[in-house]
Amino acid sequence: MSSSVPTPRMTGVGRVLVIVYAVMALAATGRSVVQIIRRFDEAPLAYALSAVAAVVYLLATLALVLAGRRGWYAVAWVAIVFELTGVVVVGSLSLLMPELFQHETVWSLFGIGYLFIPLVLPVFGIWWLRTHRPVGAPQLAETTA
């Protein structure tokens, strides 16, 4: 018999969040691999950013699944905040400086090619992390005015 303490299983919204992250990870990985193999010389910045997005989605998926374990909760925060920053920066630049993004990335135009899921997903990820902090995880510093 094992004497280990059972870890709570992810259910409900958390499970849906992980599934959507996993689908985005597969989609971004597939897209970036095809782009890099076939036409990397045409738009290296755009295709490299698609690969970065794929890695971020893979890491976020894994970190969300393991968020109850030591250290993974913080990894999930870093990955999701990085994702949101990437979507906002790349989305803004693709509008303001379209010559940089002559070919689409996962995050171009705030994820329009993915029905804006890249823009909305990290917001839900942050909400989920804030409302499902594992026992013993440090609280975020809250400012008082």
**Residue 75's CB: how many other CB atoms inside 10 A?**
17
Contact 21, 135 (CB under 8 A): no
Of 40-44, 58-62, 127-131, the range with the highest mean pLDDT is 58-62
pLDDT interval class at 144 (50, 70, 90): very low
**pLDDT tens per residue, range 27-59:** 999 999 999 999 999 989 989 999 999 999 999
Cα Rg of the chain (Å, integer): 17
CA distance 43 to 9: 42
**Region of poorest pLDDT, from 54-58, 63-67, 77-81:** 63-67
Mean pLDDT of 87-92: 96
